[in-house]
Amino acid sequence: MYVPNLPMQRLLILPLLIFALASCSAPSKTDQREDVLEDIRSTTLIPNLGSYDEGVQKHALDRILVSLEKAPVITRNLLAAELDDPFIGARTKRVICMILAREGDERALPRLVSMLAEGNQVDDNLIESALLEYGSDAALAVVSVLAEGNVTARRSAASILLSMQLPVAFDALQDRFYIERDAEVRFLCVCGFAQDPRPESLAILTEALEDSEEVVRQAAWGGLQRRAKVPRDMVFDPLATPAMRKIQVGEIRSWLSGEQPKPPAGEVRTGRVGQPL
């Protein structure tokens, strides 16, 4: 999962939000006040969902969860309406989307996809977690961001598709890999190929051994070793010269196809890097 660099204050607050929502249960029922909905309508409760103050955000979230338990439909309607309020901050809207996603309310999905496409790293782990709540319902929209978004958006989209582990997600990562210029996106694509159980992903991992970036080659080799159970005496060195890597990749392809590798004319077949057999 791609995790952007976030200020420490955010890293401390976001786990609190995700933990509270993941519990899927309202807070203690000692609070039996019947004016919870009025609290939401007439106070700063919703804006406080986006607070970077842990105590303020927790209080707001607790009240919203109580309201969802007592009046789920009305509360979801109120939250969804706030997504169109220009006076509600972007972070607060991200938190609202997360709450609605946990509730299975699809009204947050278009807004989440729009946020993803903006390619802003602020709170993009919130966006990712919320989109993953929708599972396959969000897959095609995320695929479109991977195909058309800016580099930051593509990184986030690739990370989400990698986490989904759906055939449509793996297909999108394959399509993007061949045309992607950003090494980080290609790396995430290769991580997807390593998880894709379909046989054709082995051929793509082998192609990735010839990538221009060392980190991508390393990921491809590690994935290929796990997926194909490559023999221990089969060698690939991501740091070797292009000529040496070409020989090694040729031997790996021959092994995968079931053929006996043949050394090129005038060259000595190598086993361990730089050593003749």
**In the chain, what are the domain boundaries?**
1-164, 178-277
Lowest mean pLDDT among 14-23, 175-184, 220-229, 234-243: 14-23
For 178, other C-beta atoms within 10 Å of its C-beta total 10
- pLDDT of 2: 46
- pLDDT of 40: 72
Q: Over 90: is that where the pLDDT of 260 sits?
A: no
Per the rule left: phi > 0, alpha: psi between -120 and 50, beta: everything else, 108 is alpha
- We find that the CATH architecture of domain 1-164 is Alpha Horseshoe (1.25)
Q: Over 60: is that where the pLDDT of 212 sits?
A: yes
Q: Over 60: is that where the pLDDT of 109 sits?
A: yes
Confidence band (pLDDT; 50, 70, 90) for 42?
low
Residues contacting residue 130 through CB under 8 Å, at least 6 positions apart = 94, 97, 98, 101, 108, 112
Q: Over 80: is that where the pLDDT of 148 sits?
A: yes
Q: Over 60: is that where the pLDDT of 20 sits?
A: no
